[in-house]
Structure 1
Amino acid sequence: MPEEPAQNISGGIEGDGRAVEFPRGEPATRAEAVIDRLGGLYWQKQYGGQDAFTCLVRTILSQNTSDVASQPAHNSLVARYGKEDLAAVLADAAHDDLAATIKSAGLYNQKATVIIDAASRILDEYGSAAAFDEFVRDENPATVRPALLDIRGVGPKTADCVLLFAGGRDGVFPVDTHIHRIYRRMGIAPPDADHEEVREVLERDVPAAKCGFGHTASIQFGREYCTARKPACLDDPDACPLADLCDQIGVYPVAGEFVDPADAA
């Protein structure tokens, strides 16, 4: 397995998760074969242990933007408000002050409202961030996920990231725009599947213990190879390390063109 770069979606060597290595075996599905290949190309990790409220805030900041924009916003938030009793501090934060602090994340007025509302909701319902963290870690995911989705501004991907990175739950495969694109292009999910339908396919066809690193490694693959605007196979079919596992739905190398898989003939 190659050495993990210091900066990547998985947090790098000093970042989130702990390295694991799964025994080699015949994959039961094509989706598992893809994840196994990505595990050899990038990393195999297990996740969990982040503070649930901090993870929620970080994921809200990352919505509709890149790590390059959201990470400085998170750093600024921590520098301004600290790490101790963060939910209590943010529940009482002035909206304009918080918005200015997280400006680099984009949509900062909207995100400031969501974060303040989430902090207040968590304190009202759980009493403290520590109790919320315990809820995320210990309760049945079938109970936790709907509770997270009931928080204003929290969608399926945000809820699943909290379950994965804070709760350490196996079998959770958050779906972002990269993953939505990749697995429809490959033909593993239906070409017109929405984000939730892609998630259902992956959580069904990928072993539970491999879903976590499957999520982060797939995002890395989407950034490096199966990009939105110029997939590697468009110019050179051999340039993609997953070419033999891919149906290239909506990608036409001969014509040098591509479309969203849902629009493919």
Structure 2
Amino acid sequence: MDLRSTLLVTGGSALSFKLLNTIVRFLPTPAAVLATKKSWKWRNISTSLAHSSLTGAWAVLCFSLQPQMLEDLISFHSVSSHSLVAVSTGYFIHDFWDMALNQSFKQSWELLLHHTVVISCFGLAVINRLYLGFALVSLLVELNSVFLHIRQLLLLSGQRNRPGTEVTAPRPTVTYMTNSWLNLGTFLVFRGCTLGWMARWLAGNSENMPRSILALGTAGLSLICIMNTVLFYRLLRADVLTNTKITKGQH
């Protein structure tokens, strides 16, 4: 794709995710979401789930069809991989503005910072047609985001605890706990291992990269690694440590 086509795909993606977000508004919304007045958050996370499902599967498909891309993450790419990074960039642009307009800065600054880093890195990749393979590797993280977003939707819709146990001895539903373990497991594989591999790749290929690109990549990856470490601790504390304490208290 030339520059014009790239910008059209990116802009079209942003508008498409905005349209999807609008469509979700007219779909049935759980009563618990309406009662807590978190309809915007429900729409936002539902749209994020669609992006994660699409891009995670698409990234796996790209590597499956062209495994040689793993041998050259800098210059080798296909039309499909280029389109995928452009589509994902469009989503992050949409989500950035969606949060900026509907949520306070205090609540969203971490994600806004994350999105700024991703848009900068992905934007350079799609415009210059370089490091698309590296960007594609980072999208494998979205395979975990699927379960992370499902967890958020379950919490919003009040489906974490079994009915009748909320007050005395909260007991998570089978659906919530199954998703929780899948979330933690895929977190370690598709976030922990992927980000660790990316850091190793950056260190090993630093001599082949311009200093400005290396600095941007290193700073961005370091920030995302820190954010994911904090996120994993929060998930572990909320879904494992808390439930363990509750279980011990019942014996």
Q: Same fold (TM over 0.5)?
A: no
Q: What TM-score do you get using the length of structure 2 for normalisation?
A: 0.28
Q: What TM-score do you get using the length of structure 1 for normalisation?
A: 0.27
